[in-house]
Amino acid sequence: MAGTPAVRMLPKAVTFVTGNAKKLEEVRAILGTSVPFQSLKLDPPELQGEPEDISKEKARMAASKVNGPVLVEDTCLCFNALKGLPVFNGFANLFVLCLEILHIWMNRKWFLEKIGHEGLNNLLKAYEDKSAYAMCIFSLALGPGEEPITFVGKTPGIIVPARGPSDFGWDPVFQPDGFEQTYAEMPKSVKNQISHRGRALALVKEHFASANYTIQNDGSA
Ligand SMILES: O=c1nc[nH]c2c1ncn2[C@H]1C[C@H](O)[C@@H](COP(=O)(O)OP(=O)(O)OP(=O)(O)O)O1
Ligand SMILES: [Mg+2]
């Protein structure tokens, strides 16, 4: 069995790239000093596709922009009722296709801006199943042209009428299982412990703890 993994030299510290200040705040609070990183505010284009592919593509683009190691993430809120749709007639496939497209659009940020918290609740009006899950996919690319590594965190919950401050996305309408409060109502420290982002970052931390990365210079250049 191999002992310690070979040292992997990184030209500079990892850059966490996002256009979302709230994400950065949480990532800072969760990672603390466990993973040294710097941040860069870049608004990546709202890509379409499967969440994992979006996350990886964001990482590839960010790595070539930064010309160094990057960490990015893509977050989505997924409604179980809309996925578990019964196929019942000739239009079903078209209907399912429309729902797929809806899903893809739902997770782009302008969708939430347009539809609002009430709209998210209305989407589920016809369904008894209000269950959902929040998912975060971090991608780490060690440099341009390197295949990104992904880390997935999921938190199950239900969609409820908005409660709590509305300063971060859909936090007011998502109530995680086992809690009486929505993400927006609970203290940040509680959200970060159980959130999709917290769970994904726990895996990122594990990766950094076991990978033998050494930073060549401090990345201040
Ligand atoms: O913990 C969260 N709690 C509530 N809402 C959240 C959370 N995390 C992301 N969100 C929102 C922001 C955006 O409306 C959509 C994801 O889009 P997403 O592309 O991942 O985020 P973004 O465009 O704001 O930032 P980025 O520059 O990293 O792509 O969900
Ligand atoms: Mg985005």
Range of the domain at 77: 8-215
* Number of domains forming the structure of the chain: 1
pLDDT for 105 beyond 70: no
Query: If you measure from the C-alpha of residue 186 to the centroid of ligand 1, how many angstroms do you get, rounded to a whole number?
Result: 18
Q: What average pLDDT score do residues 106-130 get?
A: 82
pLDDT of 104: 60
Which domain CATH number covers 81?
3.90.950.10
Q: Model-level pTM?
A: 0.89
Q: Answer yes or no: is 220 within a domain.
A: no
Q: Answer yes or no: is 76 within a domain.
A: yes
- pLDDT band for 86, please (50, 70, 90 cuts): very low
Residues 16-70 have pLDDT tens digits of: 999 999 999 999 999 999 999 999 999 777 777 788 998 999 999 999 999 999 9
pLDDT for 84 beyond 50: no
| ipTM computed for the complex | 0.98
Average pLDDT of the chain is 87
- pLDDT band for 81, please (50, 70, 90 cuts): confident
The secondary structure of the chain as a DSSP string is: ---SPPPEEESS-EEEEES-HHHHHHHHHHHTTSS-EEEEE-------S-HHHHHHHHHHHHHHHHTS-EEEEEEEEEEHHHHS----STTHHHHHHHHHHHHHHHTSHHHHHHHHHHHHHHHTTT-S--EEEEEEEEEEESSTTPPPEEEEEEEEEEE-S--S--SSTTGGGEEETT-SS-TTTS-HHHHHHHSHHHHHHHHHHHHHHHS-EEESS-S--
21 labeled part of a ligand binding site = yes
Q: Answer yes or no: is 221 within a domain.
A: no
Residues with CB under 6 A from ligand 1: 18-20, 23, 43-44, 74-75, 107, 109, 112, 168-171, 183, 197
Q: Answer yes or no: is 183 within a domain.
A: yes
Q: Answer yes or no: is 151 within a domain.
A: yes
pLDDT of 111: 74
